[in-house]
């Protein structure tokens, strides 16, 4: 399992649909509408946009999104207690107990960051599991929120969403059960 800590980032203008290159950045920063690019250990360029995963050679790459809301009722992605502890231990997420069951939560460092900006919003945890045609696997864990003041955000796809990239891992340490849950959600 290798952590990729630097990557290139671009965004897109929702009105013109044009890509705007922003430059190199590091993990644990909030980015607006990000598409990211990084090199894997084989120096192959991997591009992950909001909805697509591809590299320089079009082929059969697949991306699976698993969304874990802070209110577990809305989440299609559900982990059992053993999986929650595994993900918390290996990926720096917080394990919290609510009503006798363990769930994953966002690290306090991120809550502190958005709290300093006087943001009262509930981000959700996004698990992106990627497979490419060379049998490489990647895991991207991010926290996504819409800025306060966008009450119609679900209806308006042009409202900006902010993504905090928590981590990008090549050859992630995941159980087959966790991978299947992310793929099915």
SS3 (DSSP) at 79: coil
Q: Which of 24-28, 48-52, 76-80, 175-179 has the lowest mean pLDDT?
A: 48-52
Percent of the chain with pLDDT over 90: 18
Whole-model pTM: value is 0.82
What is the per-residue pLDDT across 17-57, written as a single tens digit (0 to 9) for each?
A: 777 888 888 898 888 878 888 988 888 888 887 544 444 33
Tell me what the pLDDT averaged over the chain comes to: 77
List of residues 6+ apart from 44 with CB closer than 8 A = 55, 56, 132, 134, 136
Integer Cα distance of 77 and 104 in angstroms: 11
């Amino acid at each position: 399992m290798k952590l990729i800590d630097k990557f290139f980032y671009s965004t897109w203008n929702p009105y013109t649909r044009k890509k705007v290159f922003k430059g190199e950045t590091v993990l644990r920063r909030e980015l607006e509408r990000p598409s990211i690019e990084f090199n894997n250990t084989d120096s192959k360029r991997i591009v992950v946009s909001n909805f697509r995963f591809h590299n320089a050679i079009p082929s059969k790459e697949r991306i699976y999104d698993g969304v874990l809301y802070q209110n577990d009722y809305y989440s299609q992605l559900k982990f059992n207690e053993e999986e929650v502890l595994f993900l918390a231990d290996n990926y720096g997420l917080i394990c919290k107990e609510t009503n006798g069951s363990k769930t994953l939560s966002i690290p306090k460092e991120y809550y502190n960051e958005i709290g300093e900006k006087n943001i009262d919003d509930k981000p959700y945890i996004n698990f992106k599991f990627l497979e490419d045609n060379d049998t490489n696997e990647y895991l991207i864990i991010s926290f996504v929120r819409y800025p306060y003041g966008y009450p119609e955000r679900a209806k308006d796809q042009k409202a900006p969403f902010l993504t905090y990239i928590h981590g990008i891992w090549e050859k992630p340490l995941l159980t087959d059960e966790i991978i299947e849950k992310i793929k099915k959600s």
